[in-house]
A and B are shown apart, each in its own frame.
Chain A
Amino acid sequence: MADEHPPLEHVERGLRATRILAIRRLLTDKGVITVAEVDDIIERARERTPADGAKVVARAWVDDAYKARLLTNARSAVAELGYRLSHDAELAVVENTADVHHLVVCTLCSCYPTSLLGPPPDWYKSFAYRQRAVVEPRAVLREFGLALAGRVRVAVVDSTADVRYLVLPRRPSGTENMAEDALAELVTRDSMIGVAAARLPR
């Protein structure tokens, strides 16, 4: 078993690392949960990437009716593509346009649409991002390399345990003839959080 050997992090993160591994040991010894169940979730977490979110965005770019459904009932719209939200929280998709740019933060913790994007990046969970995004979003965006024109309104959406947000980024110009699969390649994790625009086609 993995916990027969000290993880390398043991030295730095002694207390909590040891305690959570002790808790796992007790729960499995008592038959409350099984080692296989834990390993199964670890494996799934490793496999989750923003690719599913990117496919949702690409579909919305090529299909206006789908986009309308996505913006009004995201849960059922992503289910059309075979994606099931693993959390109870609602998913809301917010659309970036020439007039408004959305930025997602979770000031209280780290709520994030992990079912579609995988685990959030470390910076999303950082105090600096959580504290600054709601008061100086343009400065934050500049730090990420995104300079918005002054006429573009910035809308910061604050996730909660009840509603998680996904940004529908603007479709880059010059992509009119691209197929859906190729379009999905332009959709980055950061563009779906709102700290970046979608990639430009090569």
Chain B
Amino acid sequence: MPAVHDRGGLPCDEPIDRAEHEWADWEHVTNALVGVLRRHGLINVDELRRGIEAMAPAEYESASYYERWSASIETLLVEKGILSQAEIDAAAAMLDARWG
């Protein structure tokens, strides 16, 4: 069984959807955070990839592209002790409450 990210050759009879979506603000932020964190030497592309590939298969398959990036950024920052899981959870809960 190949790992979930190893998609080449998996059976698929769907046509390729060529519709483009405009990046949402949070997708721009996600993309940019990777760039900034790389610039500071805090994460690299291989680590980002590893964080994505380590996602649970069901989560990987249901997530959108930048949802996968976002999940990996969170994993890496916690792993490296740059942010704690508890403070990310708290800050996210605060934003959720504010935006209701």
**Chain A interface (Cβ < 8 Å from any Cβ of B):** 2-3, 6-10, 13-14, 16-27, 30, 32-33, 37-39, 41-42, 45-46, 87-89, 105, 107-110, 119, 121-123, 125-135, 140, 143-144, 158, 161
Contact = CB atoms under 8 A, between A and B. Distances in A.
Nearest to A25: B91
Interface residues of B, number: 57
B32 A38 contact: yes
A194 to B, nearest CB: 14
Nearest to B78: A23
Given A16-B66, A123-B17, A132-B16, A41 B32 contact: yes
Contacts of A42: 28-29, 31-32
Contacts of B5: 108-109
Contacts of A13: 24, 26, 64, 67
A52 B25 CA distance: 25
B62 to A, nearest CB: 11
B54 interface: no
A161 B8 contact: no
Give the dominant DSSP class at B's interface.
helix
Contact of A140 (B16, B46, B83, B98): B16
B31 A21 contact: no
Contacts of A2: 25
Interface in B57-100: 61, 63-67, 70-71, 73-74, 77, 82-83, 87-88, 91-92, 94-96, 98-99
B16 A143 contact: yes
Nearest to B32: A41
Contact of B26 (A20, A119, A128, A133): A20
A22 B91 contact: yes
B42 A110 contact: no
A121 B21 CA distance: 9
Contacts of A127: 7, 10, 12, 61
Given A27-B83, A33-B37, A108-B6, 9 more contacts: A19-B92, A20-B73, A22-B88, A23-B74, A33-B36, A38-B32, A45-B32, A128-B12, A131-B12
A134 B21 contact: no
Given A16-B71, A20-B33, A22-B95, A129 B16 contact: yes
B9 A134 contact: yes
Contact of B36 (A10, A16, A37): A37
A21 B95 contact: yes
A128 B91 contact: no
